[in-house]
């Protein structure tokens, strides 16, 4: 009865906060959009008039009209139309008194590059400042520091979006990479938010935007935010409805926040390996760094599907991993840093107990650096080359581009998004995400939890002001499972 009263009070509170948020932001949003649209149309009209009445444009129109009249006259007389050489001579005659001939190519290249850069810069500058309710959030800064802001602005739910009151979110080693510049280029093209940390989250829906039919106010949901899409470390979070799903009611907010990121990564890995409950029986799988969130999920799923699971992890994690279903255990060599770990212990175990059908390297403690030196000693002769799977964070191609190519990448990215919008696919970036991280994968995760095949492995829970301590623990060898930060 008490739990029922608690959930009912929580839903009523969510309804109240949603009403206040909608009343405060809807009117200002409509006024801002209307005024900015009128101003943009006026500026476009002025620019078009200026270009159209330019001296060079006027003379060019006269030339084109004369060429068209001459070509039509030649066609009526039975003669071929204007040849390319004649057209070239006319162009030279038009431009010889204004620019150098050798500058024509430079002008053309400059026009293309300038238009692309202008398009990218214009789309970035034209984005209006967000307006909406205020809440606590962890904002990242260029010096790799993270500060707790008490009055961060959260935009209201737009078309296809939902506003969520985040109760808890998870941190993992990829958050440290994000603070050091991982996915910074791509993230800068998608969003201007200061939210960059926090991957999985759990919360309650406060508001739904137009077009959202699968969620309603008061729903308890979970989801995850990729490193290039921003972060979840905010008490109020606006995300697309395709990136959240209803969470299992049996899980608390802390436990629910620990599962979406690692769980969806495990589902994507098993999908790529084509391992299912029907095909995994008898498979021998080695999971290195099994103490991570995705490693614990892989151990549970593969063992429930009757695969033979061998784990590589520090000694302190052996009992937890065996309780999750691991059959064999390899103690990770080294005690102070990942640089002391080696693949020799894994190769020795394979020589003694037999090779595996698949070897997975997770982001947990105990994983040797780099790729296995002798992959043939770890895998069966029938295993494919894709059977060694790397789940540790890797640099994106956009992070390694030199400055000139970065501008080209940005222009191409914006052009592709514009084409998607023109062709009716929308301007969202769901196409960048793995399908397992969207609503379909999260719903599958819910089914696995409700069926008892998967349980969250919650390591420690911290408060937002202790973010640095939480991240240090999540990246240390003492971490087993997922570290979570809760908003009190």
Break the chain into its structural domains and give their ranges.
134-258+426-486, 264-390
Report whether CATH 3.40.50.720 matches the domain 264-390: yes
pLDDT at 135: 87
- pLDDT tens track for 271-326: 999 999 999 999 999 999 999 999 999 999 999 999 999 999 988 898 999 999 99
337 pLDDT band, cuts 50/70/90, is very low
Spatial separation of the C-alpha atoms in residues 177 and 30, rounded to whole Å = 38
pLDDT at 336: 46
Identity of the highest mean pLDDT range in 12-26, 66-80, 120-134: 66-80
Q: Cβ atoms within 10 A of the Cβ of 125, count?
A: 7
3-state SS of the chain: helix, strand, coil percent to 5? 50, 15, 35
Facing residues of 170 across strands? 484
pLDDT at 88: 65
The answer to whether the Cα torsion of 265, 268, 272, 273 is positive or negative is positive
Among candidate residues 254, 185, 226, the one with its CA nearest the CA of residue 456 = 254
Sheet holding 388-390, edge to edge: 328-331, 308-313, 284-288, 358-361, 388-390
Q: Which residues contact 427 (CB under 8 A, 6 or more apart)?
A: 417, 420, 421
pLDDT at 345: 86
Q: Give the SS3 label for residue 450.
A: helix
Residue 85 CA to chain centroid, in angstroms? 52
Q: How big is the CA angle at 113 (ends 57 and 125), to the nearest 5 degrees?
A: 95
Phi, psi of 72 (to 5 degrees): -65, -40
Give burial (CB, 10 Å; 0-12/13-18/19+) of 22: middle
pLDDT at 21: 60
107 pLDDT band, cuts 50/70/90, is low
Distances (CA, A) of 264 to 53, 178, 274, 282: 58, 19, 15, 24
Give CATH superfamily name and number for 134-258+426-486: Medium-chain alcohol dehydrogenases, catalytic domain (3.90.180.10)
The pTM assigned to this predicted structure is 0.74
- pLDDT tens track for 462-476: 999 999 999 999 999
**Helical ranges in 145-259 per DSSP H:** 173-179, 184-190, 253-257
24 pLDDT band, cuts 50/70/90, is low
User: Is 131 within 8 Å of 153 (Cβ atoms)?
Assistant: yes
């Amino acid at each position: 009865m008490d739990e029922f009263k608690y959930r009912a009070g929580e839903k009523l509170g969510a309804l109240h906060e949603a009403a206040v948020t909608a009343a405060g932001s809807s009117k200002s949003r409509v006024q801002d959009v209307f005024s900015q649209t009128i101003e943009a149309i006026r500026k476009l009209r002025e620019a078009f008039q200026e270009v159209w009445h330019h001296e060079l444009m006027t003379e060019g129109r006269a030339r084109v009209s004369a060429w068209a009249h001459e070509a039509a006259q030649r066609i009526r007389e039975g003669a071929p139309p204007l040849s390319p050489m004649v057209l070239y001579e006319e162009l030279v005659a038009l431009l010889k008194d204004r620019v150098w001939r050798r500058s024509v190519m430079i002008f053309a290249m400059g026009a293309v590059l300038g238009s692309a850069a202008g398009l990218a810069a214009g789309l970035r500058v034209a984005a209006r400042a967000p307006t909406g309710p205020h809440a606590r959030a962890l904002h990242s800064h260029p010096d790799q520091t993270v500060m707790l802001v008490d009055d961060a602005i959260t935009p209201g739910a737009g078309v296809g979006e939902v506003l969520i009151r985040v109760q808890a979110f998870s941190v993992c080693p990829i958050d440290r990479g994000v603070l050091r510049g991982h996915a910074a280029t791509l993230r800068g093209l998608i969003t201007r938010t200061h939210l960059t940390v926090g991957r999985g989250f759990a919360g309650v829906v406060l508001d739904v935007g137009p077009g959202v039919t699968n969620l309603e106010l008061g729903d308890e949901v979970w989801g995850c935010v990729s490193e290039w899409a921003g972060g979840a470390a905010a008490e109020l979070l606006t995300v697309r409805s395709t990136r959240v799903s209803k969470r299992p009611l049996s899980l608390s907010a802390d436990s629910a926040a620990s599962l979406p990121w690692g769980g969806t990564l495990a589902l994507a890995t098993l999908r790529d390996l084509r391992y299912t409950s029907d095909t995994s029986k008898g498979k021998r799988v080695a999971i290195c760094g099994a103490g991570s969130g995705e490693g614990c999920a892989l151990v549970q799923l593969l063992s429930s599907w009757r695969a033979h699971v061998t784990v590589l992890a520090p000694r302190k994690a052996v009992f937890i991993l065996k309780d999750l279903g691991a059959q064999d255990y390899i103690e990770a060599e080294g005690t102070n840093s990942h640089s002391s770990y080696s693949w020799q212990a894994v190769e020795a175990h394979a020589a003694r107990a037999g090779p595996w059908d698949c070897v997975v390297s997770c982001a947990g403690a105990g994983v040797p650096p780099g790729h296995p030196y002798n992959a043939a000693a770890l895998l069966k002769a029938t295993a494919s080359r894709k059977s060694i799977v790397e789940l540790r964070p890797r640099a994106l191609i956009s992070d390694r581009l030199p400055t000139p190519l970065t501008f080209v990448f940005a222009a191409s990215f914006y052009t592709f998004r514009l084409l998607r919008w023109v062709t009716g696919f929308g301007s969202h970036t769901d196409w960048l995400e793995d399908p397992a991280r969207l609503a379909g994968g999260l719903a599958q995760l819910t089914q696995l939890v409700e069926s008892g095949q998967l349980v969250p492995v919650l390591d420690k829970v911290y408060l937002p002001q202790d973010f640095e301590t939480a991240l240090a623990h999540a990246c240390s060898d003492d971490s087993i499972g997922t570290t979570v930060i809760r908003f009190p």
